[in-house]
Structure 1
Amino acid sequence: MNNRSGNQHSATQDTKQGAISPRKLMTALLAPLFMALMAISVVNVALTPIAASLVASNSQAQWIVSGYALAFGVPLVAAGRIGDATGRRRMFIIGVGLFTLGSLLSALAPSIAVLIAARVLQGFGAGLFNPQTTGIIQQNFQGQARARAYGMFGTTVAVATVFGPMMGGFLIQLFGEALGWRLMFLINVPIGLATMFFSLRWIPADQPTTKNTRKQLDLDPIGMTTMAVATLAILFPFVQRGSNPWIWAVLLGGLALLWFFVHWEKRYKARKRPPMLDIDMVRDPAFRNGILIVTLYFLGNTSVWLIVPIYAQTHLGMSALGAAALTIPSSLISAFAAPWAGRHVLGMGRSIVIWGFAISIVSIAATMLAITPVENGQISVWVLAATLFGLGIGSGMVISPNQTLTLASVSPEISGTAGGVLSLGQRMGTAIGTATIPSIMFALVEGGFHWNVGATAAFGAILTTLTIGLAITIADRRRETTTLQRTKLEGQPEPGQPIGVGVHSA
């Protein structure tokens, strides 16, 4: 790996701390990412014991989930911009520190109010360090090494999503309901402290990668504030999951603020000032399509891991641990699929993402066909673990390759901001999917239909979402192929570049 510019370091460059190992660098980056993503799903199996322990209502318990989700999503883009402008390692360590403090306060919370506040702090910390992860990867890796790094990133995302409920169910079963949920949060504290220590040793110290200086730092405060409030307003109706009309009025207000934000950023750039988010970056077809692809995939994929435990526990009477165990095969195969996809994405381009969507769609269709026989006792419920196996393969072939190809279309100088936008797409997809798709199942069951009908309909909605994502990916592959043909006419691309995607050097 070569140096990218005078003020940037490669992952193997000598620093004051000594030679930086790429493996150590990725360990420092991915350990807190795993904790942050696992913290989203780990409480799903613990809400009932938490509510009993802290004497909380169902609506209060729901804010344990909602508060974290909102606080995670709101600062993503702004945090990426601040990291780009002032140094990513600093922002990364600050974020990990806040997440660790939030974890400790959550474990020791004496009341539901303190727990909700601690979860908000935990989510805010995750929102600060998450975009720095992609920015640091873009800054320190190139070519095939970067693709492998995003393969590891994809493995972390896939495994954390389904490992959370498993770990939560295991701790509650082993230590009891009163102590088990507290240990779910406490386990993050030593990991977070170790991450902060090793980040200083294993993550190269970076300098600002924009034209801002300390004396003339321009972070576009109006743009940052508007984007944060718009994100909060758009996410709120989905994480709150209420039916009051005023909640959806908040969504309309968020969309109006987003419209204002776009026009403000255009004006800010026209005045020769650095916008928080360069709208031209979002207009780039590779980047725009990548955001749509990841949003749609997370909208459908993450909903699966909510529907399956609910169906298995509430209707089939399985334990929390048993229901979570249904996800183990998919989790394990995704840990192998993502690195494999990382090794091949530079040669295959978007076609590998197409195959990932196709395998995911087949997996969801097979699950739909299996639900009624499971309901009738004709086949074992563990068949669902087999049908969902393909979803693990698909997620490994979609998430990390899409990350590689999407971020390859932007300059490393603004990769933290771009990573924040990409992460926001994931959070938006997760919030919308987990709010709307399970509600289809609940609405049909409450309307008098059998559970198998409700579950099949919910999986049908997931199938539709993934099919739309596949169509967008196919369209982007055509754009990619056209770009490749044009590039060949103009001259061979540099070795290691993704097919049809231009890589900008800092």
Structure 2
Amino acid sequence: MDSSCPDTDAAAGARRDAGGRPPATTAGGAAAQHVPPGREPRTAAEPDADRWRILAVLLVAIFMSLVGVSIVNVGLPSIQEGLGASRTQIQWVLSGYALTFGVVLVAAGRAGDIFGRGFLFVLGAAVFTLASLAAGFASDPAVLTAARFVQGLGSGLLNPQGVGMIQQYFRGAERGRAFGLFGSVVGISVGVGPLLGGLLIHLGGAAEGWRWMFFVNVPVGLLAVALALAWFPRPLLRRGHGRTAGKVLSELDPVGALLLGTAVLALLLPFIEARAATSAWWWALLPAGAALLSAWLLWERRYRAAGRSPMVDLAIFRVRSFSYGSALIGLYFLGVTSVWVLLALYMQQGLGHTALESGLIGLPNALASALAANWAGRHVLRLGRAVVVGGMLSVLLGLALSVLVIQLEDRGIGSEWWLLATLVLVGLGQGAVVSPNQTLSLAEVPLEYAGSSGGIMQTGQRIGTSIGIAVVTAVSFTVLPAAGWAQAITAGFAMIAVIISCALAVGVADLRHRRRADRGPA
């Protein structure tokens, strides 16, 4: 983001060796493949004095963007009533955001690596804020859907810059703490969103209360932009380095960006449309998406072989911590995101609770997630992958106990409100998985690819989320007609547990590899 930062300049000037390995300089200033996370030697440059203010701005914007996602989930019936939208239109209100968000993540991360992360961050926050205002004033479903697409674009611009700037401005144990605070905000925002949405609908009425779910983003977005302009180091747009316009265009790798963006779009659309059940023809996009992804991989290899800077240096996947962490978090989001979709259906359609009551069920979970993320951020460099493995075990235990509560309630024993307690275990696990995994996965990635690498991980999360929701809800709705809501949610939770167990297997494999590496050769 700031050309005056020594870490950025050193990383931008780094070059690969003849074997095609990533540059030796990492975001922590250490050898990319040989230094365990958190043990990087301090470089000659002292940490930037503004780093904690920078983090505060990042957290404000991340809070806004994540509340903007979770708050909509409980407001779809209100939007349908207020605008007279069809089921398909409502589906696009929900999915339009996810599409543009997922499509631009990697390209936006790379653009931040080149142009300056602060500039792209401010632009993304401004776009998200203006789109939220437009969504609140929407007069019909088409306008609201268009605003949601633009919201996703803004969020896709700002999110990878946040990850990149934490990599850029924090080192060692401080980076773990920064990602821990990042995870705390994620946990709070995801939990507060549905509760706030339910409260706004309750106060504003079923027909018009949904508008305030978008208006609430505006003051937060304005605050984020104002603080960024006041606190971010100058210049926000990186200048100099003797690069011509042609050199900048080459580093952006527009063909690679187009191929990857189109591939992600083709892979996401069938699973998003599966929820609306509009046409089986959407599934024909899956082989097209796979072909585009193969073409992107081939292009990136050739682009690198020609001596240019690709959008993603595929050599980073040979950094074991990054490849393991990317696979783990993609699988984890494939499963865990559906928990809240199923619970919202169970509470509102299965048991007849209001949107506000449905939102309350996740509040203790969110608080537990925030506390766990903060704790894990402080201890992840000492405990390593064991934190992540322990977190997934906690999630599995919470799911099992939640199924027990649902089954007992179905038999007239106990109450569904016992879920407030069992979901705390899921929240504790969530906080111990997401941010610590990000810290460990990006620790050895070169700083010049911090944004695009973070974008890769987030893209995997978005694809995992879309596929997971489509598959898990399909399992539940298949069971529902014959067995009722309790059995349908149980089947869905069982599917989620199987997926998270696969992520757990990846985490255990990485943990064993790290322990063997620490022991060294026999």
How far apart are 1:21 and its partner, in Å? 4.1
Cα distance 1:43–1:260, how it changes in 2: closer, same or farther (>3 A)?
same
Q: Is the 8 A contact 2:335 2:497 kept in 1?
A: yes
Count of paired positions? 478
Under a length normalisation based on structure 2, what TM-score does the superposition of the two structures give?
0.88
CA offsets 1:361-418 (integer angstroms, 9 cap, x no match):
1111111222111112201111111111100100111011101000102011210111
State the match for 2:31 in structure 1.
none
Aligned residue number for residue 481 of structure 1 = 515
Q: Which residue does 1:248 correspond to in 2?
A: 283
Instruction: Select which of 134, 137, 142 maps to 2:171.
Output: 142
Contact 2:8 2:447 in 1 (8 A): no
1:149 CA displacement? 0.5
Deviation at 1:20, TM superposition (A): 5.0
Match of 1:492 in 2: none
**Residue number among 317, 331, 343 corresponding to 1:308 in the alignment:** 343
1:122 to 128, 151, 173: 151
Any conservation in 2 of the 1:20–1:203 contact (CA below 8 Å)?
no
The residue type equivalent to 2:390 in the other structure is W
Name the SS for the 1:74 alignment partner.
helix
Give the 5 Å matches for 1:287-298: 287-298=322-333
Q: Which of the residues 251, 255, 267 maps onto 1:222?
A: 255
Matched, 1:164 2:199: no
Q: Give the aligned residue type for 2:94.
A: V
| Counterpart among 80, 84, 106 of residue 77 in structure 1 | 106
State the AA in 2 paired with 1:339.
N
In structure 2, the CA distance between the partners of 1:185 and 1:478, relative to structure 1 (3 Å rule), is same
Deviation for aligned residue 1:300: 1.7
1:326-341 alignment runs, 5 A limit: 326-341=361-376
Asked if the contact 1:7–1:207 (Cα under 8 Å) also holds between the matched residues in 2, the reply is: no
Aligned with residue 113 of structure 1, among 142, 158, 161: 142
Q: Per the alignment, do residues 263 and 212 of structure 1 end up closer, same or farther by CA in structure 2, a change over 3 Å counting?
A: farther
8 Å contact 1:45–1:320 — kept in the other structure?
yes
1:463 aligns with 2:493: no
Length-normalised TM-score, structure 1? 0.91
Deviation of 1:284 (Å): 2.4
Give the direction of change, closer, same or farther, for the CA distance of 1:299–1:159 in structure 2 (3 Å limit): farther
Distance 2:470 2:233 in 1: 40
Cα offset, 1:22, TM superposition = 3.6
Task: Give 1:413-428 correspondences, 5 Å limit.
Answer: 413-428=448-463
- Root-mean-square deviation over aligned CA pairs: 2.1
Give the deviation of 1:45 after TM superposition. 1.4
The alignment-based identity, stated in percent, is 42
Superimposed CA distance per residue, residues 283-330 of structure 1 (whole angstroms, 9 cap, x where no aligned partner) = 322111111111121222211111111101101111111111111111
Give 2:160's match in structure 1, choosing from 128, 131, 154. 131
- The one-letter amino acid of 2:473's match is P
- Residues in 1 aligned to 2:434 and 2:449: alpha-carbon distance in whole angstroms: 21
Q: 1:259 to 1:460 in 2, by over 3 A?
A: same
Match of 2:66 in 1: 37
Superposed displacement of residue 102, structure 1: 0.5
Question: SS at 2:139's partner residue?
Answer: coil
2:105 pairs with 1:61: no
In the TM superposition, residue 26 of structure 1 has moved relative to its aligned partner by 1.5
CA contact (8 A) 1:85 1:209 kept: no
Per-residue Cα deviation, 1:331-377 (whole angstroms, up to 9, x for no partner): 11111110100000000110111110111111111112221111122
> In structure 1, what residue type is equivalent to 2:140?
S
Instruction: Give 1:72 shift.
Output: 0.8
- Give the letter for the 1:450 counterpart: G
Q: Give distance in 2, aligned partners of 1:459 and 1:416.
A: 34
Alignment equivalent of 1:231, drawn from 230, 242, 264: 264
Q: Within 1, Cα distance between the matches of 2:216 and 2:59?
A: 16
Is the aligned partner of 1:367 residue 2:367?
no
SS in structure 2 at match of 1:180: coil
8 Å Cα contact 1:301/1:462 also seen in 2: yes
Structure 2: state its 5+ residue gaps: 12-26, 28-47
CA contact (8 A) 1:97 1:192 kept: yes
CA drift at 1:129: 0.8
Alignment of 1:401 with 2:430, yes or no, is: no
Matched to 1:160, the amino acid is: S
CA 1:212–1:475 in 2, change beyond 3 Å: closer, same or farther?
A: farther
Which one of 464, 484, 488 corresponds to residue 454 of structure 1? 488
Match of residue 445, structure 1, among 480, 483, 489: 480
Instruction: Report the Cα offset of residue 245 of structure 1.
Output: 2.9
Residue in structure 2 matching 1:376, options 395, 405, 411:
411
Query: What secondary structure is seen at the aligned counterpart in 1 of 2:7?
Result: coil
2:387 matches 1:385: no
**Distance apart, 1:178 and its partner CA:** 2.7
Question: Residues 8 and 207 of structure 1 are in contact (CA less than 8 Å); yes or no, is this contact kept in structure 2?
Answer: no
The one-letter code sitting in structure 2 at the alignment partner of 1:177 is A
Q: Residue 207 and residue 196 in structure 1: after superposition, are their counterparts in 2 closer, same or farther (change >3 A)?
A: closer
For each residue in 1:51-74, what CA deviation from the matched residue of structure 2 results, as whole angstroms up to 9, or x when unmatched? 121121111111101111101110
Query: Contact 1:80–1:132 at 8 Å: present in 2 too?
Result: yes
Counterpart in the other structure of 1:199 = 228
- Distance in 2 separating the partners of 1:480 and 1:38: 36
Is 1:20–1:202's contact at 8 Å kept on the other side of the alignment?
A: no
- Find the aligned partners of 1:246 and 1:440 in 2 and give their Cα distance: 20
Aligned-pair distance for 1:246?
1.6
8 Å CA contact 2:390, 2:429 repeated in 1? yes
Is the 8 Å Cα contact of residues 387 and 436 (structure 2) preserved in structure 1? yes
**SS of the residue 2:483 aligns to:** coil
Equivalent residue for 1:155?
184
Distance in 2 between residues matched to 1:261 and 1:188, nearest whole Å: 36
Kept in 1, the 8 Å contact 2:407–2:486? The answer is yes
Instruction: Indicate how the Cα distance of structure 1 residues 257 and 37 shifts in structure 2: closer, same or farther if over 3 A, else same.
Output: same
- Distance in 2 separating the partners of 1:8 and 1:130: 24
Q: Is the 8 A contact 1:210 1:413 kept in 2?
A: no
Shift of 1:6: 7.2
Question: 1:485 Cα shift?
Answer: 2.5
Structure 2 residue 129 is matched with structure 1 residue 103: no
DSSP-derived class of the 2:520 partner: helix
3-state SS of the aligned residue for 1:109?
coil
2:57 — aligned with what?
28
User: Aligned in 2, Cα 1:212/1:125: closer, same or farther, shift over 3 Å?
Assistant: farther
